[in-house]
Structure 1
Amino acid sequence: MARTAGGRGGTEVPAWVEPMLAKPDGGRLREGPEWAYEYKLDGYRACMRISPAGTTVLTSRNGIDFTAEFAGLGGVLAEALEGRAAVLDGEIVVYNEAGEIDFGALQERRGRFQTHGTSRRGEPFDDVPVRYLAFDLLQLGTEKLLNEPYDERRLLLTGLPMPDPYRISTVRGFTFTELAADRRTPAHLLEHVVSSGHEGLVAKHRTSVYNPGRRSDAWLKHPLTRTTEVVICGYRPGQGRITGRMGGLLLGAHDPGTGDLVYIGDVGTGFSEAERSRLQTRLDALARRSHPFAVTPPREDTVRARWVDPVLVGEVEYRHFTRGAGRLRHTAWRGLRQDKEPREVLKPQQPGPRGAEPARIATEAPGTGEPPEAPVRLGPKITVQAGERRLTLSNLDKVLYPDGFTKGEVINYYSRIAPVLLPHLSGRPITFIRFPDGVEGEQFFEKNVPHGAPAWLPTVRPARSGSRGAGEAVTYALLDELGALVWAANLAALELHIPQWTVGADGARRPPDRLVFDLDPGPGTSIVHCCRVAERLHDALTADGLTPFAKTSGSKGMQLYCAVSTGDPAAPSAYAKKLAQRLARETPDDVTAVMAKAQRTGRVFIDWSQNNPAKTTVAPYSLRGRDQPTVSTPVTWDEVRSCRRPAQLVFTADDVLDRVGEQGDLFAGLDTARADLP
């Protein structure tokens, strides 16, 4: 139950509180009873401070005094507070005729104030009324509430009378539990957000305290449009009907790694005629002879350019941010941001604005009850304790998947899945597929341990069989502990591939201990067709005394595994090939055992060659380098038999963590079901 905050202090206006900031949620709206949701507002963030006498001061997120500009908001809550001081956090917004929050209208109003503010100071802009929407209460009376949990602060805020809701009111909030009681979900709430024209949602952890000036995992924003702040670095003069005015702006932002100001593209649409004129006046006063960037932009982008001092911050909408060139595409102007400093503006991370703060890394094993040691921040790097190892991680905010899944989230996934993944990697040389620039960039296989690997990382150099000799042997990494797994994830080694054999303590290769069938759907087929083939393989394998386990490939197909005993390294391939050829003979229109791609159309290819000692297969619980952070996921035979749509067997990292929490490791019984290879 919330405490009653009260008491009457002096006549002084309370001190300004630097606002707490939200992190991007990577495109995944958080769910669960610990979360509450508020509308994401498209306006000016402002701290409202009210003295016991009713004096009201409005301050922007970076300390600019908004009081005179929004004078109509002053004194509204004075009577309702009954002589108590208060500090509120909220957003100043303008509504359009459709009842939607309109940032452009707010910008127009601001432009008029800056042009005529001196002569009209104190005179309200009645044609563009503003509204203050409060979403947090930081002080009431003499009591500061920063260390109270969100639920407590929210209860006190909603208990305040709002005598004039046209000017000041409270942002609507919803808890996950309240939504569930109405048989609704956060997805339903998001649908309403879309239809009502709001910018998105902010999920807030209900036990979180208010951390001034911090960007916290406890507040996660889920925007519906891509926007980013930009630094205005120059412009192209207008032509035709806009001759004499700015035609398009040349934009910059700071590289989060180096701090350099870099060119990120231009914007030429979204301006009103009045705004073009106002901007031209501002730009004329900031003229300079040369560009302000650390690296000269391409000549074709700067024809007719006129440069300005990089002191103005604006905001644009955009569809894409290209990787190689680092350019915003399909931009539209939204307006100047007086509440932002140029040094705060960082270039977006491919493919969209995901923030510049690293994701929190959970490096403890789930279920151990051991909290992770607090990260030690080293600028763009942090150090974490991963099991027994102290590791330095970097570029955690780097987006590796198009949906916004970052390297920090990759490390978080591998850290949390480690208890069930590591047993399947133990003793098996690892082949990495690395994606240093994300899944849309270049990828490469890496068998040899990379330079700079930690000295404690175990390695193995199994001798090659055949005539090529030991001189071509590869030094592989072994991932037998949490620290090694986190180290690999920090290299953007998204995919982990392993052979069907292990090495002994002396590094010698042991005989194969697993049999694998890789079911690859050809053109015109899908994992649904793989499931039908898997059912037939299941029956054949069990008839031979083996116990098959199934998993998705994390891509289009699936794999079946059996634990086997054999002293002949060539035997698993021979057995798998014989069985694959049998199914192909029985149903030649549905199955092929031939590797040639011309034979695969309309058929499922049973790849028996994965049993060759030189081959590897993606490990259970490994991420895949696809459009989404999908995972090679163990599944039950009931799931295989009931699969009728490909989407039924597509699992992302979050899905897999939930599945393991509910079902445990579905591959846990694999090695205990070992049988002699027929």
Structure 2
Amino acid sequence: MLAKPDGGRLREGPEWTYEYKLDGYRACMSIAADGTTVLTSRNGIDFTDEFPDLAGVLTEALDGRSAVLDGEIVVYDDAGQIDFGLLQERRGRYQTHRSSVRRDEPFEDVPVRFLAFDLLQLGGRSLLAEPYDERRRQLTQLPMPDPYRVEVVRGFTFTDLAADRRTPRHLLEHVRSSGHEGLIAKLRTAAYSPGRRSDAWLKHPLIQTTEVIICGYRPGQGRLHGRMGGLLLGAHDPGTGDLVYIGDVGTGFTEAERGRLQTRLEALERKRHPFAVAPPRADVARAHWVTPEMVGEVVFRQFTRSGGRLRHTAWRGLREDKKPADVLLPHRPHPHAAETTPPELSRRPADSRAKSAAPVGDPPSAASPPAGPRITVQAGDRKLTLSNLDKPLYPDGFTKGEVISYYSHIAPVLLPHLAGRPVTFIRFPDGVGGEQFFEKNVPNGAPDWLPTVRIARSGTRGSTEPITYALLDELAALVWAANMAALELHVPQWTIDHKGARRPPDRLVFDLDPGPGTSIVQCCRVAERLHEALVADGLTPLAKTSGSKGMQLYCAITTDDPAAPSAYAKKLAQRLARETPDTVTAVMAKAQRTGRVFIDWSQNNPAKTTIAPYSLRGRDHPTVSTPITWNEVRTCRRPAQLMFTADDVLHRVDEHGDLLADLDTTRTALP
């Protein structure tokens, strides 16, 4: 039995019950009277050999009775959250090893769990015609002798929630904060209808995912040369049954997964595209077409109402448990379900003839007419003219309009970290992947109201003309910078006074850069050691990701000597490198960095800058330099745990506020 999308409206009332929406492989667990256990996927794939840990776990508890349970096979990460990516990695290893001498490898490092949510048969008696409440009652009465391997999914009736003075919306907030995918609302009186996508089960996802058919691929370029660069996707029109093109996906793949997919794609290559109507030529340049046999899953931000394209996609993994024939076009959300934008940023047509202002930030959709190439917006007390809001600046389709929307939403916590600090921009006028350049001097055409500061150049080489830096101290300045495609904002560890003179450094920074063979996971282990040393010296370190591969630690300090922070940071970095030379280096030379984390102490040089907190990065997708807690540092075991996109960060700030807000209140003298 399958769930329908609820159209963004979570159903409420005493006739409904709610279960967590799970992020794993849907599976049926069939236990014969003799205890033989068989696991099958939705489309009949036998999972039994792949998940031997689950075989026989209920045999003794059933005491000679047969049973059929419906549920989901899941994997948990170290933080106790269900992690589909880990399950996919496990499946990739299984696929690689199943035909080798290691085919019986138990994968004990990635334990699986079967979470049951329905009981379809017990003791030879079918329960399909019984109402949900009765099936649920009998399921919860079954003994669960090993809850680490098999357990019943928690259920919450509307009535039980009301008795606790809570609503389904309260439950949804709990689901969001605990990292689940969403909720499934189930009608308590409904029978079980195998194979039907029923109104009796309605899914309310917190993130949008959809199944897709792999119809082709683009070869990778640059560092991805020789491997798959991106997949071309399709789905069936539910009205006609035609296979239609719905866009592509180029991010979210591990290197190992790209290699596995490349091998399978090459075996399926064909000369012509498989779609009923040829896709736009511009969308499928360099395409290699394949027989549409493989099904995958992607995360997406939008399915366009005109054109029918997935936007801002990221790969989740293959779905061996799904058939291509079952993959239908994604559900189009209600036009008014879009996220709102800040009230202080509004737009009107450039000719100013509109009678009222409309929200700006998210790119235009069918719900609001296109704004045209140039629009005038109100940002705080100022008007600005913006252009090309629909222009993608990231390979995953994240547009300039969405960049502006992110910076306008994040402004309240970002601006305090930029206040009084000259900003160096990294601009991407043609988007990530195109030409990029550092810009220190304020460009020609900057607005007259933009505050600037002239600062003498460091060193003696090249021009001696002072640099005129921009100061971003209000929303309008941030929007102006974003409109120039200034994705990255870099600032020094010092501020200027009211006369424009440079003050002594007020921040100490350690930039932890993982060398080849390491990642932010190893940076976290070094950060823990630095935390201990800094606290012992009376400082209060706070952490953030770089938004790329590494991370930074900050301490608020006082000192009269501009050279002192670098000297202190270098001494501490060299100490850690001496103590553990195999894992840490304080030397910038690339030859010294393989397998080690480089503690870059030189970021404290007054001439250097560091990526600002909450700044976007110019990477494959819109990742952000994100403040994190020390608990997140200590529990990090995989790089993905500390990789945050613009959307992630906005949700984090809504939940936690600015995790660097205490930085200036913990200021102390530099040791």
- Structure 1 length-normalised TM: 0.51
Q: Decide whether the 8 Å contact of 1:321 with 1:348 is kept in 2.
A: no
Query: 2:526 aligned with 1:533, yes or no?
Result: yes
Query: 2:584 aligned with 1:577, yes or no?
Result: no
The residue matched to 1:512 in structure 2 has which SS?
coil
In the TM superposition, what is the alpha-carbon distance from 1:390 to its structure 2 partner?
Answer: 1.1
Deviation by residue 1:108-135 (Cα, 9 ceiling, x = unmatched): xxxxxxxxxxxxxxxxxxxxxxxxxxxx
In the TM superposition, what is the alpha-carbon distance from 1:387 to its structure 2 partner?
Answer: 1.1
Q: Give unpaired runs (5+ residues) of structure 1.
A: 1-29, 37-97, 99-175, 190-194, 207-219, 228-266, 276-313, 335-343
Match of 1:520 in 2: 513
Q: Decide whether the 8 Å contact of 2:487 with 2:618 is kept in 1.
A: yes
Match of 2:629 in 1: 636
In the TM superposition, what is the alpha-carbon distance from 1:616 to its structure 2 partner?
Answer: 0.5
In the TM superposition, what is the alpha-carbon distance from 1:186 to its structure 2 partner?
Answer: 6.5
Query: 2:272 aligned with 1:269, yes or no?
Result: yes
Q: Give unpaired runs (5+ residues) of structure 2.
A: 12-42, 44-167, 185-193, 216-269, 293-305, 315-329, 346-355, 361-368
Higher deviation after alignment, 577-586 or 646-655? 646-655
- CA gap of 1:623–1:32, structure 2 versus 1, over 3 A, is farther
Q: Decide whether the 8 Å contact of 1:360 with 1:408 is kept in 2.
A: no
Query: 2:379 aligned with 1:421, yes or no?
Result: no
Q: Decide whether the 8 Å contact of 2:458 with 2:607 is kept in 1.
A: no
In the TM superposition, what is the alpha-carbon distance from 1:609 to its structure 2 partner?
Answer: 0.4
The equivalences for 1:608-627 within 5 A come to 608-627=601-620
Match of 1:543 in 2: 536
In the TM superposition, what is the alpha-carbon distance from 1:178 to its structure 2 partner?
Answer: 13
Match of 2:279 in 1: 316
Match of 1:480 in 2: 473
The residue matched to 1:401 in structure 2 has which SS?
coil
- CA gap of 1:448–1:621, structure 2 versus 1, over 3 A, is same
Q: Decide whether the 8 Å contact of 1:593 with 1:606 is kept in 2.
A: yes
Query: 2:404 aligned with 1:446, yes or no?
Result: no
- CA gap of 1:345–1:317, structure 2 versus 1, over 3 A, is closer
- CA gap of 1:451–1:675, structure 2 versus 1, over 3 A, is same
> Aligned to 1:658, which of 651, 655, 661?
651
1:632 maps to a residue whose letter is S
Query: 2:287 aligned with 1:329, yes or no?
Result: yes
In the TM superposition, what is the alpha-carbon distance from 1:347 to its structure 2 partner?
Answer: 12
- CA gap of 1:268–1:537, structure 2 versus 1, over 3 A, is closer
The equivalences for 1:364-513 within 5 A come to 364=343, 374=359, 379-467=372-460, 471-513=464-506
Q: Decide whether the 8 Å contact of 2:6 with 2:203 is kept in 1.
A: no
For 2:170 and 2:578, locate their aligned partners in 1 and report how far apart those are by CA, in whole Å.
58
- CA gap of 1:332–1:361, structure 2 versus 1, over 3 A, is farther
For 1:466 and 1:270, locate their aligned partners in 2 and report how far apart those are by CA, in whole Å.
58
Deviation by residue 1:277-333 (Cα, 9 ceiling, x = unmatched): xxxxxxxxxxxxxxxxxxxxxxxxxxxxxxxxxxxxx54288x847xxxx4634699
The residue matched to 1:461 in structure 2 has which SS?
strand
- CA gap of 1:177–1:660, structure 2 versus 1, over 3 A, is closer
Q: Decide whether the 8 Å contact of 1:316 with 1:332 is kept in 2.
A: no
In the TM superposition, what is the alpha-carbon distance from 1:187 to its structure 2 partner?
Answer: 7.3
Match of 1:362 in 2: 341
1:595 maps to a residue whose letter is M
2:287 maps to a residue whose letter is R
The residue matched to 1:471 in structure 2 has which SS?
coil
Match of 2:260 in 1: none
The residue matched to 1:385 in structure 2 has which SS?
strand
For 1:636 and 1:271, locate their aligned partners in 2 and report how far apart those are by CA, in whole Å.
48
In the TM superposition, what is the alpha-carbon distance from 1:540 to its structure 2 partner?
Answer: 0.9
Q: Decide whether the 8 Å contact of 2:432 with 2:619 is kept in 1.
A: yes
For 2:608 and 2:433, locate their aligned partners in 1 and report how far apart those are by CA, in whole Å.
25
Query: 2:660 aligned with 1:671, yes or no?
Result: no
1:329 maps to a residue whose letter is A
In the TM superposition, what is the alpha-carbon distance from 1:472 to its structure 2 partner?
Answer: 2.6
For 1:615 and 1:537, locate their aligned partners in 2 and report how far apart those are by CA, in whole Å.
21
Deviation by residue 1:520-568 (Cα, 9 ceiling, x = unmatched): 0111111111111111111111111111111011111110001111111
For 1:643 and 1:653, locate their aligned partners in 2 and report how far apart those are by CA, in whole Å.
20
In the TM superposition, what is the alpha-carbon distance from 1:396 to its structure 2 partner?
Answer: 1.3
2:516 maps to a residue whose letter is P
Deviation by residue 1:50-91 (Cα, 9 ceiling, x = unmatched): xxxxxxxxxxxxxxxxxxxxxxxxxxxxxxxxxxxxxxxxxx
For 2:660 and 2:635, locate their aligned partners in 1 and report how far apart those are by CA, in whole Å.
19
In the TM superposition, what is the alpha-carbon distance from 1:470 to its structure 2 partner?
Answer: 8.4
Number of paired residues?
393
2:528 maps to a residue whose letter is E
Q: Decide whether the 8 Å contact of 2:442 with 2:470 is kept in 1.
A: yes
- CA gap of 1:374–1:602, structure 2 versus 1, over 3 A, is closer
Match of 1:594 in 2: 587
For 1:647 and 1:436, locate their aligned partners in 2 and report how far apart those are by CA, in whole Å.
28
In the TM superposition, what is the alpha-carbon distance from 1:409 to its structure 2 partner?
Answer: 1.1
Match of 2:231 in 1: none
In the TM superposition, what is the alpha-carbon distance from 1:406 to its structure 2 partner?
Answer: 1.4
1:362 maps to a residue whose letter is T
- CA gap of 1:494–1:31, structure 2 versus 1, over 3 A, is farther
- CA gap of 1:631–1:197, structure 2 versus 1, over 3 A, is farther
For 2:386 and 2:609, locate their aligned partners in 1 and report how far apart those are by CA, in whole Å.
28
2:592 maps to a residue whose letter is Q
- CA gap of 1:31–1:648, structure 2 versus 1, over 3 A, is farther
- CA gap of 1:34–1:451, structure 2 versus 1, over 3 A, is farther
1:381 maps to a residue whose letter is R
2:531 maps to a residue whose letter is H
In the TM superposition, what is the alpha-carbon distance from 1:414 to its structure 2 partner?
Answer: 0.6
The residue matched to 1:561 in structure 2 has which SS?
strand
The residue matched to 2:464 in structure 1 has which SS?
helix
Q: Which has more radius of gyration?
A: 1
2:618 maps to a residue whose letter is G
1:673 maps to a residue whose letter is T
- CA gap of 1:472–1:204, structure 2 versus 1, over 3 A, is farther
1:509 maps to a residue whose letter is R
How high is the sequence identity, in percent, across the aligned residues? Answer: 67
In the TM superposition, what is the alpha-carbon distance from 1:471 to its structure 2 partner?
Answer: 3.4
1:511 maps to a residue whose letter is P
Match of 1:337 in 2: none
For 2:517 and 2:434, locate their aligned partners in 1 and report how far apart those are by CA, in whole Å.
27
1:652 maps to a residue whose letter is T
Deviation by residue 1:23-64 (Cα, 9 ceiling, x = unmatched): xxxxxxx9996579xxxxxxxxxxxxxxxxxxxxxxxxxxxx
- CA gap of 1:664–1:401, structure 2 versus 1, over 3 A, is same
Q: Decide whether the 8 Å contact of 1:373 with 1:385 is kept in 2.
A: no
Q: Decide whether the 8 Å contact of 1:549 with 1:561 is kept in 2.
A: yes
Q: Decide whether the 8 Å contact of 2:511 with 2:551 is kept in 1.
A: yes
2:341 maps to a residue whose letter is A
Q: Decide whether the 8 Å contact of 2:614 with 2:624 is kept in 1.
A: yes
- CA gap of 1:405–1:623, structure 2 versus 1, over 3 A, is same
1:499 maps to a residue whose letter is P
The residue matched to 2:509 in structure 1 has which SS?
strand
1:624 maps to a residue whose letter is R
For 2:607 and 2:6, locate their aligned partners in 1 and report how far apart those are by CA, in whole Å.
44
Deviation by residue 1:631-676 (Cα, 9 ceiling, x = unmatched): 1111111111111221111111111111111111010010111111
Q: Decide whether the 8 Å contact of 2:407 with 2:479 is kept in 1.
A: yes
